[in-house]
């Protein structure tokens, strides 16, 4: 099911998780993940991690990969190396958000996570 969105553009105000995505064929490959942050307010941070599962029920004790904590709009990329986890068939996004300072203490972020196999990305860049 790649390329595709692990999380379509979403506006959040609290911690949460996406639905799981069945990777099907791309098991055991390298996936390029793009985090796009499209909306923020000042004095807040966003933590985004990718979790894997063999069966779509058990998600383990720690994420497969995490983006460094973010504070600004922009696009950010990391690699998810599933060659180290060839049994992972399902992935999902988890996020947490914090806000500090004056005013409303609820964070507000608009963001998405897009995934594509690294070989597809290399082919697209080379074309």
How confident is the model over 19-47, as pLDDT tens digits? 999 988 656 889 999 999 999 999 999 99
What is the Cα–Cα distance from 70 to 29, expressed in whole angstroms? Answer: 26
The CATH architecture of the domain made up of 4-126 is Sandwich (2.60)
pLDDT tens profile 72-92: 999 999 999 999 899 999 999
Q: pLDDT grade, residue 119 (50/70/90)? A: confident
User: ∠ at Cα 127 (33, 73), nearest 5°?
Assistant: 35
Rounded to whole angstroms, how far apart are CA atoms 45 and 66? 14
Residue 50 near residue 92, CB atoms below 8 Å:
yes
The pLDDT of residue 70 is: 97
Checking if the pLDDT of 120 tops 80, the result is no
The pLDDT value given to residue 79: 96
Cα separation, 24 vs 119, whole angstroms: 16
DSSP string spanning 12-61? ESS-EEPPPEE--TTTTSEEEEEEEEEE--SSEEEEEEEEEESSSS---S
Q: Looking at residue 44, what is its pLDDT?
A: 96
pTM score, whole prediction: 0.89
Instruction: Calculate the CA 74 to chain-centre distance.
Output: 14
Query: Is the per-residue pLDDT at 1 higher than 70?
Result: no
Q: What is the pLDDT of residue 96?
A: 98
């Amino acid at each position: 099911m790649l390329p595709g969105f692990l999380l379509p553009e979403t506006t959040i105000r609290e911690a949460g998780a996406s639905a799981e995505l069945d990777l099907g064929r791309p098991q055991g490959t390298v996936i390029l993940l793009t985090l796009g942050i499209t909306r923020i307010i000042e004095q807040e941070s966003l933590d985004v991690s990718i979790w894997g599962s063999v069966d779509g029920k058990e998600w383990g004790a720690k994420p497969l990969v995490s983006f460094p904590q973010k504070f600004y709009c922009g696009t950010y990329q990391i690699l998810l190396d599933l060659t180290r986890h060839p049994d992972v068939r399902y992935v999902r996004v988890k996020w947490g958000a914090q806000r500090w300072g004056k005013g409303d203490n609820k964070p507000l972020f608009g963001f998405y996570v897009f995934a594509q196999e690294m070989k597809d990305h290399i082919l697209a860049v080379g074309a």
